[in-house]
Amino acid sequence: MSRKMAGVIDEASRLEALAMSIYTRLAATFRNEPELHRFWMSMARHEAGHVGALALLKTLLSQSTDDLRLEIDDSAAVEAAAVIERLHEETAAAVDVERAFAIALELESLELEDLVLDLIHVLSDPAARAQAEQMLLHDLSDLSLMIEKHCSGDDLLARADALVESRVGAGRSGSSFVRKC
């Protein structure tokens, strides 16, 4: 496994763990509101699944006997780092419900999701990517529903619905961040 590939997987894993932490912080903020608490924990579990998938991919790659040559664009991880670190810092203190959903939209809009999906596709199999995309679409749909239920303005709902729409049918046979050489 190339050092660059290992480094990108490590960084993506670190960022996914921070995203998971953001969602557990939001769950703690809303622990007295069972529906919101369950929702934020569900989002945290989704991120935990990414951390686990990345660990599995790194292990598979390190054990590969194939001379697997990959070209990787790490721009999504680099760009996501500053945003996720800022949001992680912000959620150290309690936020109101509208800000919590705005944070979730910001997290879920990052291209880090695409990088992780591309890694799954190239290093695992297309079926694993399709399953991960379906889970992401389900989570985004739940996010939209919760925003509709708990927020008064239309701006967050419009952003959530646009994010869901951008993901519907977005599955690709190739990848944009990782490719075999």
Structural domain boundaries of the chain? 3-180
**63 band by pLDDT with thresholds 50, 70 and 90:** confident
Q: Model confidence over 112-144: pLDDT tens digits?
A: 888 888 888 777 777 877 888 888 888 999 999
How confident is the model at residue 1, as a pLDDT?
47
Residue 91 above 50 pLDDT?
yes
How confident is the model at residue 135, as a pLDDT?
86
Residue 34 above 60 pLDDT?
yes
- Read off the DSSP letter of residue 153: -
**110 band by pLDDT with thresholds 50, 70 and 90:** very high
46-72 core/surface letters (b: 16 or more CB in 10 A; e: else): bbbebbebbeebbeebeeeeeeeebeb
Mean pLDDT to the nearest integer, 68-78: 80
pTM of the model: 0.88
| Candidates 3.40.50, 1.20.1260, 2.40.128, 1.10.3470; CATH matching 3-180 | 1.20.1260
Mean pLDDT to the nearest integer, 6-31: 95
